[in-house]
């Protein structure tokens, strides 16, 4: 359910379209991709929150070192991505260079099935994770390759730290940060 909703949510995402360029196989590839990340990484080292039609994967500071894919996960992702695997590896390495050094919560993935967009599923999951980060007094960091998502994140207090062009002719990736909020800065 989670993987299927995310596969549908990310069908129009520029980075995922770059990794999975074939329209006919994208949803199946994305489903395998998210299933692998969920079962091998996030379920063990992150916080998964979901509704009937959306999911979010958060990684707290203490889980970030462990959330790096192990060799088996990397191999499974390479098998899923096929000839796009080197592009994926280069993109991950490029994004990692921009990861902040400060302790932070990381929003690894959030998405809602397009059939349920506008019903508040994603906003509810975003608010929940932000509340956890705020309770810990920590900022939140994310990357987005979808320009139309930037105003949504800005509405929730994120600011763009910078943008990078992914190597190999990939799409633009925006790094964003949200400072922790206390009841008085709400």
The predicted-structure confidence for 112-161, as pLDDT tens digits, reads as follows: 999 998 899 999 999 999 999 999 999 999 999 999 999 999 999 999 99
> Which is more confidently placed, 33 or 96?
33
CATH number at residue 138: 3.40.630.30
List C-alpha distances in Å: 29 to 8, 124, 166. 11, 27, 21
Structure tokens at 25: 């196989």
HSE on the CB side for 96, CA within 13 Å?
11
21: three-class secondary structure by DSSP: coil
Q: Range of 74's domain?
A: 2-178
Quote the number of domains for the chain: 1
Averaged pLDDT of the chain: 89
List C-alpha distances in Å: 85 to 1, 32, 74, 128, 132. 25, 14, 9, 33, 34
Q: Is residue 83 part of a domain?
A: yes
User: Is this model's pTM higher than 0.95 or not?
Assistant: no
Q: Is residue 26 part of a domain?
A: yes
Q: Is residue 184 part of a domain?
A: no
Confidence at 73, pLDDT banded by 50, 70, 90: confident
Of all helices (H) and strands (E), which one includes residue 96? Answer: helix 85-96
Q: Is residue 185 part of a domain?
A: no
Confidence at 87, pLDDT banded by 50, 70, 90: confident
């Amino acid at each position: 359910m989670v993987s299927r909703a995310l596969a549908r949510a990310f069908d129009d995402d520029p980075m995922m379209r770059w990794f999975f360029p074939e329209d006919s196989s994208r949803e199946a590839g994305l489903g395998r991709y998210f299933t692998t990340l969920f079962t091998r990484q996030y379920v063990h080292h992150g916080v998964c929150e979901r509704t009937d039609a959306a999911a979010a994967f958060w990684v707290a500071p203490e889980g970030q070192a462990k959330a790096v894919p192990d060799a088996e996960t990397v191999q499974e992702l390479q098998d899923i991505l096929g000839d796009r695997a080197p592009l994926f590896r280069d993109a991950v390495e490029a994004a990692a260079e921009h990861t902040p050094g400060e302790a932070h919560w990381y929003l690894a993935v959030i998405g809602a099935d397009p059939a349920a967009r506008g019903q508040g599923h994603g906003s509810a999951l975003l608010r929940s994770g932000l509340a956890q980060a705020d309770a810990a007094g920590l900022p939140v960091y994310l990357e987005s390759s979808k320009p139309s998502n930037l105003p949504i994140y800005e509405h929730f207090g994120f600011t763009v730290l910078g943008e990078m062009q992914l190597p190999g002719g990939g799409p633009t990736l925006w790094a964003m940060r949200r400072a922790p909020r206390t009841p008085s800065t709400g």
